[in-house]
Structure 1
Amino acid sequence: MTTEPPAALTPAFPGPRSAPTAEPPAVGDPRHGFVAKAFGVTAVLTAAGSVLGMLRDLLLATFFGANQGTDAFLVAWTVPETAAPLLIEDCMAFLMVPAFSLALVLREERPDGPDPVRQLARATLPGLLLVLCALTLGVVLGARQLVGLLAPGLADPELAVSCTRITACTILPFGLAGYLGSALRAHHSFTAPAGIYVAYNLTILAALLTGHDLLGVESAAIGVAAGSLLMAAVVAVPIGRRLRQGHRGPARSPLADQGLVLIPLAVLPAVAFTLTRQAQVFVERYLGSGLPPGSISHLNYAAKISQLAMTVAILLVTVTFPLVARALAAGDLDAARDRVEKDLGQGAALVLIGTAFLMACAPSVVALLFQRGAFGPRDAAATAAVIRVYSFGLPAQALIGVMIRPYFSLRPVVRRAGDPCDDGGRRLLDWYPAAAMVLGLVVTTAVGLAAADRFGALGLAAGNAAGITTTAVLLLRGLVLRGIALRLRLVLGGHARLLAAAAGAGGLGTLAAGLATDPLLSTLLGGLTVALAFAALGTVLGAREVRGPVLAAVRALSPPAVADEGKFPHGR
């Protein structure tokens, strides 16, 4: 039985409306091939971007190692690392994918009137550009104070200040790329948004290869700034084509004439959540600056590898998020709930098999990727140890990515002109994710302070895992309070089966990886064992996210049954 949320906490949409039919399939539509195709395109391009990003980190390690120079650059990299989730991956998408989805629903309901999508862009984009310009100037002018705040114990603060002023130039193009990419995703167009990191990392690689001897680590900062400009260009052309296709009616009219009301204050809770989540990195950099040189670099390389385990899970959510937002805009809460539950299960399965692989193969993976040039065996061993500790928090990271998108979709930055104004209960719940993240950050800081002196970077990684897991538990409850009545017993039962399968697969994979000393062979043995063991254990334990694909693969590989009896003599 599904329990209905209290009346005061129901979503800011009126009763159920008919789902759109003119666009690609909405939630529950039998034309499920759309999700598969979109996921495939997004996965290929994102995988390419991730490979290039890994190559970027490999070159950083090869050219500069793990020392005070790379520590200085990584402190400066905090600017694009913070701007990316705020302006591209998280906050901007939380706000603008639902907003454009609602505008598209209104476009279908009013096919002969002015275009709500174009008017939404006119009402929001100019102000956003002004804010982004102001933020860029503020970071450039305050770079010295920012470095002092982030890493007061840094050995080479002047290099960090110089790199920070360069990386500050990413803020404006990042924001433009995130805004236009959100509009494209709402239109169910995923190719250009998924390709932005390919352009970004190719530019950084070019800067590193051509400038590392002359400019040192500042060449990486220049590549980051130049790459951000190319990101914005990648999405600008296709969204311009989309807006021209949707043009009709008067060119300029008030937003309310299109049936939309802007809610500027809805931006604040999403910004607060994203910044608080990113503050985990700030805590690590702050505490890590007082540890031996290279500690921040070990944490950074470990985080980059660990995040690959949850990349596929986040890809799934990226594709399905516009479908959930469109269902919520149409008032179909049941369809949105079903999609979110499915995403939670599939996301957990994907990230847990990746976590099991990292637990089993972290030493061989780090040696294979980074152990060359200035990055020696000691650095590799330290990074691998951090990866294994980080991995305990990866499932929570992925589940937060699934849950937070529908949470903010229930109160987007715009609403229908005829809908009732939000009451105090809903406005208070807007801040629930940020509050949950603050509590998680308190746990991260407390564990880090308690463990850093004794365990070094491992203590900071343990704090990260503990804090993000605390936040995930709180958000699971918050999503129910928000109005999406998840069947928690069903969800948690499925996750328990997946977790048991991942634990068994990780143990067997560790044994298999230890049979070989060559990093490549060890990685292959461990990875193959983890995959087979996870599939077998998940099937035996009844995890539907594993059992279904495994049985489908078995049926596909089995010889087809002979159905044409006419081929055989009677009385066979």
Structure 2
Amino acid sequence: MPAAPSAATAGSSFIARAFGVTALLAAAGSLLGLLRDLLLARYFGAGEDTDAFLVSWTVPETASPLLIEDAMAFLMVPAFSLALAARQHDRTGHPQHVPTADPVRALVAATLPPLCLALAALSAATAAFAPSLVEALAPGLPHPGPAVRCTRITALTVLSFGVTGYLSAALRAHHHFTAPAAVCVVQNAGILGVLTTCHQWLGVTAAAVGVAVGSALTTALLLPPFLRRLRSTPRTPAARRATRLPVISPLALLPVVGFSLTRQAQVFIERYLGSELPPGTISHLNYASKVAQLAMTASLLICTVTFPLVARAIADGDLRAARDRVEKDLGLVGAVVLCGTAFLLACAPAVVRILFQRGAFGPQDSAATAAVMRVYSVGLLFQSLTGALIRPYFSTRPAVRIADAAEPPGAARPWLDWYPVAAMLLGLAVTFAVGAAAAPHAGALGIAAANAAGITVTASLLLYGLRQRGIALRLRTVLGGQARLAAAAAAAAAAGTAAASLAGPRPLTAVLLGGTAVTAVFTATAAALGAPELRTPLRALGCALRPTAEGDRRHGR
């Protein structure tokens, strides 16, 4: 099994290939997720049944990002990166006749069994306390019974998603991205299969059963490639093992879990405040956020690919390479998410009509969802920046270390471990305060605005805190780049709105006209303002086309 490349040595072609595979499969998973939401809207509309399922959906909606993309990735990608770095050190730093324990095998043996036991206990506890959980999440539900039943079924996802997240982190650290990227595809395929075949028989409970089935399929997908990589590692006799074994640091583990839980608490606040508003409010918030967050998800695919490179650079002590990679990632993330934000601001009504307005989902639901989506989109940049900044932050002091390895540079102040949790809690306080004040007057729009305000506070604090952690970002460069991209997004949104209005009542035409205008104006404006995220690709494209044009002139074509 080859050693993973570092941030300094990984070539752009590797990153491009990995990003291409990840983006393609993520897009397929997102399309299936949209189809899932379309079927929910078609079969059950935006009423009490859908609200009941969406309350239970809070469990997998929390478990999936927490255990697959957030906490488990923050914990295990740096851990496996350290194990790979230790393996490389053992190969080059020990005489051939002194074999040492393979750090990767030792890491798996020390962490996977206790993790499975803890996840199984947590899954059982979630099912047992489902009535209390539903009451806490949505105290205003008039009939909580269906929500409790669905929550007990979706509690199974805690175990399966946790194991899936562990396997996914291990594979990504080894730079295998295909199977982890297909997780969302398999998960949504399982949901769709059960939903389409059983919705008349089980009602909205079919959606909960589909969630449980889909989560089990994700673990089954990743287990074979994980075992293949583990089997390819040479075994070493136990009697001759050295002491380079993994050590779990609880003090560094707790902040990772704390941050991930508090980040997901934004959803809890939305459901809590929305349950006091008219029926259908939670559904409007859900559909709007699902579509709006596609832009954020697409932007963070960049960090999914580069996170192992950053973690490996930090494990090797190369903080300059880590800083350069993070700055590039922030620029690329901003470019993707702000272009998507401009599109949503311009075309939200047409998008919602195309996706959802059929069956029990009527024009009033479309109008309410589109309005919420536009407000949500204002905070998308800061949602993406939060996701991009937290990955290198937790890599500087990983919760799982190699026993005799020195801590990476920048980990000298352990109290900073809790800084992201404090930043997230302050953001949640802003979210709750603004939402509680605005919801009675502005309804779902007030809740969406509160979400944007809270995450803006968190992202700003994390941007400052990463410098304190040892990765000295050049803030003037980073903020200047984001300002140029934001100006381009504002111009693109205005142009897209004007173009979409020309389509009249035809939503598909509005999306095509608005999307084309947004893409063209955003690209041109960002390049004109000097954004390297757009100028560099355009310059490369020009260089690629120029020889062809010169050759045509030489040959008289």
TM-score of the pair, normalised by structure 1: 0.93
Which of 424, 430, 435 pairs up with 1:448? 435
User: Contact 1:353 / 1:530 at 8 angstroms: preserved in 2?
Assistant: yes
Where structure 1 has 5 or more consecutive residues not aligned to the other structure, the ranges are: 1-20
Mapped to 1, the partners of 2:538 and 2:230 lie a distance apart of: 43
Which of 510, 535, 539 pairs up with 1:547? 535
Residue 252 of structure 1 deviates from its aligned partner by 8.5
2:514 paired with 1:534: no
Q: How many residues align?
A: 547
Mapped to 2, the partners of 1:251 and 1:531 lie a distance apart of: 59
Mapped to 1, the partners of 2:356 and 2:451 lie a distance apart of: 23
Please show how residues 143-542 of structure 1 align to structure 2 within 5 Å. Answer: 143-250=130-237, 257-419=243-405, 426-516=413-503, 517-542=505-530
Aligned to 2:82: 102
1:95 maps to amino acid:
L
* SS of equivalent to 1:258: coil
2:16 maps to amino acid:
A
Mapped to 1, the partners of 2:382 and 2:188 lie a distance apart of: 27
Residue 523 of structure 1 deviates from its aligned partner by 0.2
Residue 26 of structure 1 deviates from its aligned partner by 2.0
Aligned to 1:23: 3
* SS of equivalent to 1:154: coil
Mapped to 2, the partners of 1:538 and 1:252 lie a distance apart of: 61
Please show how residues 103-118 of structure 1 align to structure 2 within 5 Å. Answer: 103-111=83-91, 112-118=99-105
Q: 1:468 to 1:449 in 2, by over 3 A?
A: same
Residue 418 of structure 1 deviates from its aligned partner by 3.2
* SS of equivalent to 1:331: coil
2:31 paired with 1:51: yes
Which of 125, 138, 148 pairs up with 1:138? 125
User: Contact 1:83 / 1:174 at 8 angstroms: preserved in 2?
Assistant: yes
Residue 58 of structure 1 deviates from its aligned partner by 0.4
User: Contact 1:92 / 1:182 at 8 angstroms: preserved in 2?
Assistant: yes
2:395 maps to amino acid:
S
Q: Cα deviations across residues 206-227 of structure 1 (Å, max 9, x unaligned)?
A: 1111111111110000000011
Residue 265 of structure 1 deviates from its aligned partner by 2.8
Mapped to 1, the partners of 2:541 and 2:51 lie a distance apart of: 47
User: Contact 2:296 / 2:337 at 8 angstroms: preserved in 1?
Assistant: yes
1:297 maps to amino acid:
S
Mapped to 2, the partners of 1:352 and 1:253 lie a distance apart of: 55
Identity, % of aligned positions: 62
Residue 559 of structure 1 deviates from its aligned partner by 5.5
Mapped to 1, the partners of 2:26 and 2:331 lie a distance apart of: 21
Residue 258 of structure 1 deviates from its aligned partner by 2.3
* SS of equivalent to 1:29: coil
Residue 564 of structure 1 deviates from its aligned partner by 12
User: Contact 1:118 / 1:243 at 8 angstroms: preserved in 2?
Assistant: yes
Mapped to 2, the partners of 1:184 and 1:27 lie a distance apart of: 17
Mapped to 1, the partners of 2:52 and 2:553 lie a distance apart of: 75
Q: 1:555 to 1:71 in 2, by over 3 A?
A: same
* SS of equivalent to 1:249: coil
Mapped to 2, the partners of 1:346 and 1:289 lie a distance apart of: 37
2:400 maps to amino acid:
V
Residue 179 of structure 1 deviates from its aligned partner by 0.3
Aligned to 2:106: 119
Residue 557 of structure 1 deviates from its aligned partner by 3.6
RMSD of Structure 2 on Structure 1 (CA):
2.0
Mapped to 2, the partners of 1:224 and 1:29 lie a distance apart of: 40
User: Contact 1:114 / 1:249 at 8 angstroms: preserved in 2?
Assistant: yes
Q: Cα deviations across residues 166-206 of structure 1 (Å, max 9, x unaligned)?
A: 00011111000000110000000001111111111001001
1:102 maps to amino acid:
L
Residue 54 of structure 1 deviates from its aligned partner by 0.5
Mapped to 2, the partners of 1:529 and 1:237 lie a distance apart of: 45
Mapped to 1, the partners of 2:353 and 2:239 lie a distance apart of: 59
2:520 maps to amino acid:
L
* SS of equivalent to 1:110: helix
User: Contact 1:119 / 1:252 at 8 angstroms: preserved in 2?
Assistant: no
* SS of equivalent to 2:247: strand
User: Contact 1:447 / 1:459 at 8 angstroms: preserved in 2?
Assistant: yes
Q: 1:558 to 1:565 in 2, by over 3 A?
A: closer
Greater shift, 31-40 or 480-489, is seen at: 31-40
Where structure 2 has 5 or more consecutive residues not aligned to the other structure, the ranges are: 92-98
User: Contact 1:118 / 1:247 at 8 angstroms: preserved in 2?
Assistant: no
Which of 515, 519, 544 pairs up with 1:556? 544
Mapped to 1, the partners of 2:328 and 2:227 lie a distance apart of: 33
Residue 420 of structure 1 deviates from its aligned partner by 5.5
Mapped to 2, the partners of 1:67 and 1:24 lie a distance apart of: 50
* SS of equivalent to 1:156: coil
Residue 349 of structure 1 deviates from its aligned partner by 0.4
Q: Cα deviations across residues 88-146 of structure 1 (Å, max 9, x unaligned)?
A: 11000000000001001111111342211011011011111111111111111100010
1:90 maps to amino acid:
D
Q: 1:565 to 1:267 in 2, by over 3 A?
A: same
User: Contact 1:106 / 1:259 at 8 angstroms: preserved in 2?
Assistant: no
Residue 244 of structure 1 deviates from its aligned partner by 0.5
